[in-house]
Amino acid sequence: MPLTMAKVGEEQLIKKIGGKPEVRQFIENLGFVPGGTVTVISEISGNVIVHMKDSRIAISREMASKILV
């Protein structure tokens, strides 16, 4: 399922990054890599704030929909 459907507070395992090669590269440069874990902290209008590797990252709904957990 895409990260946009993950429940707030639950740790998720990243299974795949979708999208065009340049979009996948951008997302992976942010630290979202298959096998890593991510926790949704909050969701506002579809945009999400996630906790990953001791940092918080805000990503748009469009980017979050390309991260499959």
Q: Where are the domains of the chain?
A: 3-68
Please work out, in degrees rounded to the nearest 5, the angle formed at the alpha carbon of residue 56 by the alpha carbons of 50 and 58.
60
pTM listed for this prediction: 0.88
Burial label, 29 (beta-carbon count in 10 A; 0-12, 13-18, 19+): exposed
Q: Specify the CATH number of the domain 3-68.
A: 2.30.30.90
Q: So what's the pLDDT on residue 53?
A: 87
* 17-26: pLDDT as tens digits: 999 999 999 9
Over residues 44-57, the pLDDT tens digits come to 888 999 999 889 99
Which residue from 4, 8, 16 is spatially nearest to 51, judged by alpha carbons?
Answer: 8
Dihedral angle, C-alpha 56, 19, 43, 29, nearest 10 °: 10
